[in-house]
């Protein structure tokens, strides 16, 4: 459910950022203007979900005694084909625009200009999702976040490789320590952090970028999974209890320190993501009731196609207004325009999902370990389809397994 809500938030945010709409329809200080101002927090909230789902994927891998290489292959198989398909469509349409302009059919095409600026290095960097750390232009505006997602997966793969024999609960403990350590370093020595633990952001628009912590929200998702799907609190040892209390208390102190002493732009974002993680934890006992709510099924549906929606909406939106103009349909009220644009993006995403993502989902169910399977929680179950990170990247269409939690942090059972 939450992945569906966040995916729609992303689309609406980008609709409202259209220069013509923003210039003519957005009143400073209005509710819509406030909505836009909170837009950047959607990415850290996605990272919370990603952390939960990546922990689920790692736990599933280790409980099945699979290798870190199998973990990587499963992730690559689900992340890259849809991404590469969208990339090829973007390059192909830009090439057609360039050809049409070269033949004199159109003039001043932005797509043609972008095509002329393409280099082999830019295409390769975008294809492997390294354009972010390599400081290359993004051919799909939203995929900069996938650079972080892929890097987080790489960290998880290394953790599995090093701690596979020790079990996933010890692995998560090590990663919790990494979360606290990198959070503290980001406050004391912000220039020390490197990708993927840092992310560029503006303190003030027009000022140079500063680096802020990109791992904290992800780490909160790891902690959420550990608390919900690890050993019940009563079965944990005294030392374990002290460890988790220490991690939570350290995060609280660091959040307070960041708000009080730091001028970093994500100071309020980390509060929002922390409250979001707490909300998911508190909703866990009510997940069956939430999933049985009929009027939420539409959001569950959007959650199930959220990766396709995330990847493709940036192609649909620029052409939406052009379509209205070509059909000589007058621009409707802002609210109506936003709803129709959202509906168009969802419809296109569903077609893309059916043609590209569904064929990649194995038909055979895979069983998860009993402990993880019995603690699906609001964040895990998606009614047959799960999400992995910012995307629907599950290993299988199953009903009650970790792979479900991986597939859709629409997380439908939220």
pLDDT at 341 over 80: yes
pLDDT surpasses 80 at 77: yes
SS3 assignment, position 54: helix
- With CA atoms as reference, report the closest residue to 413 among 118, 4, 70: 4
Reply yes or no: is the peptide bond before residue 312 cis, omega within 30 of 0: no
Burial string for 314-334 (b: 16+ CB within 10 Å, else e) reads: bbbbeebbeebeeeeeeeeee
> How far apart, in whole angstroms, are the C-alpha atoms of residue 118 and residue 298?
39
pLDDT of residue 316: 87
HSE (side-chain half, CA atoms, 13 Å) at 330: 2
Structure confidence at residue 387 as a pLDDT band (50, 70, 90): very low
Query: Residue 372: is its pLDDT beyond 60?
Result: no
Residue 192 has pLDDT above 80, yes or no: no
R_g (Cα) of the chain, nearest Å:
22
Confidence at 364, pLDDT banded by 50, 70, 90 = very low
Answer for the pair 314, 85: CB distance below 8 angstroms, yes or no: no
How is residue 387 annotated by DSSP?
Answer: -
Given a cut of 60, whether residue 148 has pLDDT beyond it is: yes
C-alpha–C-alpha distance, residues 313 and 140, integer Å: 10
- Amino acid 224: pLDDT: 95
Which of 251 and 377 is assigned the larger pLDDT?
251
Asked whether the CA dihedral 329, 334, 339, 344 is positive or negative, the reply is: positive
pLDDT tens for residues 18-54?
Answer: 765 655 566 666 666 666 667 778 888 889 999 999 9
**pLDDT tier at 399 (50, 70, 90 boundaries)?**
very low
φ and ψ of 388, to 5 deg: -120, 110
Long-range contacts of 291-294, Cβ-Cβ distance < 8 Å, separation of 24 or more:
291/1, 291/381, 291/383, 291/412, 291/413
**Cα gap 74→206, rounded to integer Å:** 41
Above 70 in pLDDT, residue 410?
A: no
Mean pLDDT check: name the lowest of 80-89, 125-134, 277-286, 380-389.
Answer: 380-389
Q: pLDDT at position 197, please?
A: 78
Average pLDDT over residues 270-290: 89
Please indicate whether residue 170 or residue 196 has the higher confidence score (pLDDT).
Answer: 170
Percent of the chain at pLDDT exceeding 90? 35
> Which of the four pLDDT bands, split at 50, 70 and 90, describes residue 195?
confident
Find tokens 């950022």 and name the residue: 17
Q: What is the average pLDDT across 8-21?
A: 79
Q: What is the DSSP string of 71-89?
A: HHHHHHHHHHHHHHHHHHH
Its pTM stands at: 0.81
Mean pLDDT calculated for residue range 372-378:
44
Give the pLDDT confidence score for residue 42 in this predicted structure: 82
Comparing CA positions, the residue from 85, 84, 58 lying closest to residue 71 is: 58
pLDDT of residue 145 exceeding 70: yes
Token pair of 371 as six digits = 């402990």
Rounded mean pLDDT, 61-86: 91
**φ and ψ at residue 199, rounded to 5 degrees:** -145, 135
- The pLDDT value recorded for residue 12 is 87
Q: Percent of the chain having pLDDT more than 70?
A: 75
How far apart CA 2 and CA 300 sit, in angstroms, is 8
**Section 155-169 average pLDDT:** 92
Q: What share of the chain is helix, strand, coil (3-state, %, to 5)?
A: 70, 5, 25
Q: Which has the higher per-residue pLDDT, 109 or 129?
A: 129
Look at 333 and 407; give whichever has higher pLDDT.
333
Q: How far apart are the first and last CA of the chain?
A: 5
Q: Where are the beta strands (DSSP E) in 189-330?
A: 198-202, 209-213
pLDDT at 344 over 60: yes
pLDDT at 202 over 60: no
> Minimum mean pLDDT among 206-215, 288-297, 321-330: which range?
206-215
Residue 195, strand partner residues = none
């Amino acid at each position: 459910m939450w992945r569906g809500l966040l995916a729609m938030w992303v689309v609406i945010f980008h609709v409202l950022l259209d220069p013509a709409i923003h210039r003519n329809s957005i009143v400073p200080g209005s509710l819509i203007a406030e909505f836009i101002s909170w837009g950047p927090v959607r990415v850290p909230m996605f990272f919370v979900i990603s952390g939960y789902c990546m922990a689920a994927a790692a736990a599933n891998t280790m409980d099945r005694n699979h290798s870190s290489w199998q973990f990587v292959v499963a992730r690559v198989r689900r992340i890259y084909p849809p991404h590469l398909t969208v990339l090829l469509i973007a390059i192909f349409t830009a090439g057609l625009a360039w050809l049409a302009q070269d033949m004199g059919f159109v003039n001043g095409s932005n797509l043609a200009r972008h095509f002329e600026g393409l280099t082999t290095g830019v295409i390769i960097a975008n294809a492997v999702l390294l354009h972010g750390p390599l400081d290359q232009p993004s051919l799909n505006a939203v995929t900069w976040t996938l650079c972080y997602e892929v890097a987080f997966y790489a960290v998880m793969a290394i953790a599995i490789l090093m701690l596979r024999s020790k079990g996933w609960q010890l692995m998560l403990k090590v990663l919790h320590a990494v979360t606290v350590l990198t959070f503290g370093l980001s406050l004391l020595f912000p220039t020390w952090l490197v990708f993927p633990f840092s992310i560029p952001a503006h303190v003030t628009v027009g000022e140079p970028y500063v680096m802020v912590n990109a791992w904290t929200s992800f780490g909160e998702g790891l902690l959420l999974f550990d608390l919900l799907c690890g050993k019940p609190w009563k079965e944990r040892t005294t030392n374990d209890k002290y460890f988790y209390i220490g991690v939570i208390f350290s995060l609280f102190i660091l959040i307070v320190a960041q708000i009080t002493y730091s001028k970093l732009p994500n100071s309020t974002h980390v509060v929002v993501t922390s409250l979001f993680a707490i909300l998911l934890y508190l909703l866990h006992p009510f997940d069956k009731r939430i999933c049985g709510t009929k009027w939420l099924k539409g959001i569950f549906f959007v959650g199930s196609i959220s990766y396709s929606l995330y990847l493709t909406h940036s192609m649909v939106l620029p052409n939406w207004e052009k379509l209205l103009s070509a059909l000589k349909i007058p621009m409707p009220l802002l609210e109506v325009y936003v709803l129709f644009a959202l509906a168009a993006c969802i419809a296109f995403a569903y077609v893309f999902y059916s043609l590209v993502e569904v064929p990649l989902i194995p038909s055979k169910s895979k069983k998860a370990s009993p402990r993880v399977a019995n603690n699906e929680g609001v964040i895990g179950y998606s009614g047959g389809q799960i999400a992995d990170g910012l995307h629907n990247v599950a290993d299988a269409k199953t009903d009650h397994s970790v792979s479900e939690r991986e597939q859709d942090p629409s997380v439908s059972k939220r």
